[in-house]
Amino acid sequence: MKIKQLPSHLINQIAAGEVVERPASVVKELLENALDANATQIDLDIEQGGTKRIRIRDNGFGIPKDELSLALSRHATSKITSLDDLEQVRSLGFRGEALPSIASVSRLSLHSQSQDHQHAWQLSGDGGDTFAAPEPCAHPQGTTIDVRDLFFNVPARRKFLKTEKTEFRHLEDVVKKIALSRFETGITLKHKQKTVLHLQAAHDQASSQRRVAEIFGPAFMEQSLYLEYEAAGLRLWGWVGFPTFSRAQADLQYFYVNGRIIRDRIVTHAVRQAYQDVMYHGRHPAYLLFLELNPDKVDVNAHPTKHEVRFREARLVHDFIYRTLHKALGDLRPQDELVQTTEKKPTNTRTESDHYPYQDTQKKLKIPVREQIESYQPLHQAPKKSNPFIPHSNNSSTNTPTLVVQTEATFEDTGEIPPLGFALAQLHGIFILAENAQGLIIVDMHAAHERITYEYLKRSMSDDSIRSQPLLVPNTLSVSKKEAQCAMEQQTLFTQLGFDIDRLAPEKLVIRAVPSLLKQADTARLVQDVLSDLIQHGTSQRIQHALNDILSTMACHHSVRANHQLKKAEMNALLRDMERTERSGQCNHGRPTWTQLSVDQLDKLFMRGQ
């Protein structure tokens, strides 16, 4: 076989195999070019799922006549000029391969008017590698690219395409993802001349939330938390779904780095760890997050389709994302979720004064507050800051707490209604029924007490440090040289977690002591898993999770059980502790601990006002 130079049209078709997989890939590349041209409005017209036609029109700065031919040439771009530019890419597209690759597998026409010129020009191709000279045309400022008969000259590629419905679903998904990267750009999507998406430009928080609600659904906005945090040259902002708003699949997980949507194992691992303690098994969190950092800290040229990136300080990024989300979810209290719901779903039949926290009088709630307080008035003492679920003794940090009523200042003087309201009754010894400003609160008392107990045990262990127990017979394990070296480099971390680990040989470690709570666990395998995490992600929470699993079991067995009758004072004490406790919206297993039924919802159940 002789070595031959490939013809240019075949080179473009091979390149198209990397960039153009299906109609959705074409839309992604063309949308990114339009955004890089500073377009404020983009209109897409699609036929037959994109296989017959994809037309994208934008009002960006356009392409001058003398650059039209270059735009359809490989390795021609206006976005980078040197290697330094490549290391600090700020645009979405920069390779200069998309347009020529698309043109090599379709019938493509390009119309454009540059912002610096008064006349528009057009260029057309028929799947070859040559184009006629540009011709004048009528066109407003901006660019229109019309792609017809995708893969008409590569029939083998057409065979791999799915049905029209499936291809359009992929295409629509791409449009939605890109639309969430640039709120200030209006986007319209039509399929078969019918409008599927009409997203107006958003220039403030309220209009941005409307766009998110249109794409993620209003339920996400009603059950999500907005966060914004900046540190160490990193900025993370966006919306994270409440743990109770979990999904059966990871279909609502959008993560952007400097405006580019990406898939990254470092990011996925950090988010999963942040939700570890509050997510029900087998469920997936929903989030829309934006990470901003200096472009030279991230390599966006790691993959031809630019779906993947490579962080130059991966551990810093992982820890930043994990700690930010972990704190945001930990700081979430029932009152925060109630405020979110109240702000986003105002009722039409109640005035502002009827809703917490604007309630200015207790009289509108028909519950026997005065009698209730008087019934446990003898229990009232000076207010204390400690948790009312106090341990039996102070001999051990792992003593399990028991329910002890501790009183607090009453709400009678101020007329303020606590977020979870006041207890009304207990149902079947399982649920607490309470009334707050919005309506009815239903609490699973065992699940709620379990979380309160669990968080108390975690704080106690953290305050007293993790206790270590020497092994009578040291445990040896075989590892790779890389893992052994990692164990020595991370000795301080292992010591803080209660382990005493030494290196016996280049590929052998010995465990001399383990955390006392993990003495019955398979510590050798746990150490190997931790080393694997440290090598792959630069961090590991496996030991802490193993300890938490034991504390969770202890909390479960020592929390109030079903059919355990509580007095109203005890029920109210439980409600107040829920309002103070981190992650009290979910039990240790990720199940919800409480739910709210508003008066409007109750009205609908009984068809009142209909």
Burial of 558 (0-12, 13-18, 19+ CB in 10 A): buried
Q: Is 142 left (phi over 0), alpha (psi -120 to 50) or beta?
A: left
577/567 Cα distance (integer angstroms): 15
572/581 Cα distance (integer angstroms): 14
15/421 Cα distance (integer angstroms): 63
Query: ∠ CA(459), CA(461), CA(465), 5° rounding?
Result: 120
326/314 Cα distance (integer angstroms): 18
Q: Read off the tokens for 360.
A: 């200015």
Convert the pLDDT of each residue in 210-240 to its tens digit: 999 999 999 999 899 999 999 999 999 999 9
Q: Which of 87, 253, 229, 92 is CA-nearest to residue 177?
A: 253
Burial of 75 (0-12, 13-18, 19+ CB in 10 A): exposed
Q: Read off the tokens for 315.
A: 């551990």
Sign of torsion, CA 264 267 270 273? negative
Q: What is the pLDDT of residue 309?
A: 84
DSSP assigned state of 50: G
530/515 Cα distance (integer angstroms): 14
The whole-angstrom distance between residue 460's C-alpha and the CA centroid of its chain comes to 30
451/341 Cα distance (integer angstroms): 23
Q: Which of 587, 594, 596 is CA-nearest to residue 280?
A: 587
- Tokens 């200042």 belong to 409
CB 434, CB 575: distance < 8 Å = yes
Beta bridge pairs of residue 256:
261, 290
Q: Read off the tokens for 184.
A: 């200030």
The more confident residue out of 290 and 4 is: 290
Burial of 4 (0-12, 13-18, 19+ CB in 10 A): exposed
Radius of gyration of the chain (CA): 30
Convert the pLDDT of each residue in 533-563 to its tens digit: 888 777 777 777 777 777 777 777 767 766 7
Most confident of the ranges 45-49, 344-348, 411-415, 469-473: 45-49
CB atoms within 10 A of CB 137: 15
Does position 572 have pLDDT exceeding 70, yes or no?
yes
C-alpha distances (whole Å) from 96 to each of 33, 260, 392, 598 are 10, 17, 70, 55
C-alpha distances (whole Å) from 279 to each of 107, 142, 168, 274 are 49, 47, 32, 9
Mean pLDDT computed over 385-411: 43
CB 438, CB 356: distance < 8 Å = yes
Convert the pLDDT of each residue in 27-80 to its tens digit: 999 999 999 999 999 999 999 999 999 999 999 999 999 888 888 876 666 655
Quickly state the pLDDT bin for 607 (edges 50, 70, 90): confident
Q: Which of 148, 225, 198 is CA-nearest to residue 42?
A: 198
What residues contact 595, with CB distance under 8 A and at least 6 apart? 441, 442
Residue 255 identity? F
- Residues of the chain above pLDDT 70, percent: 80
CB atoms within 10 A of CB 20: 27
CB 245, CB 281: distance < 8 Å = no
Q: Which of 178-182, 236-240, 352-356, 475-479 has the lowest mean pLDDT?
A: 352-356
495/479 Cα distance (integer angstroms): 19
Does position 12 have pLDDT exceeding 80, yes or no?
no
Convert the pLDDT of each residue in 485-499 to its tens digit: 999 988 888 888 788
In the chain, the domains with their CATH numbers are 8-199 (3.30.565.10), 217-330 (3.30.230.10), 349-460+557-605 (3.30.1540.20), 467-541 (3.30.1370.100)
Which pTM value belongs to this model? 0.73
Alpha helices by DSSP H, listed for 465-515, are 481-489, 491-496
Q: Which of 348, 340, 356 is CA-nearest to residue 220?
A: 340
- Tokens 């699949």 belong to 249
The 3-state secondary structure of 248-299 reads CCCCCEEEEECCEECCCHHHHHHHHHHCCCCCCCCCECCEEEEEECCHHHEE
Burial 343-380 (b: 16+ CB within 10 A, else e): eeeebeeeeeeebbeebeebeebebebeebbeebeeee
594/545 Cα distance (integer angstroms): 25
Does position 381 have pLDDT exceeding 50, yes or no?
no
The answer to whether the bond into 357 is cis (omega within 30° of 0) is: yes
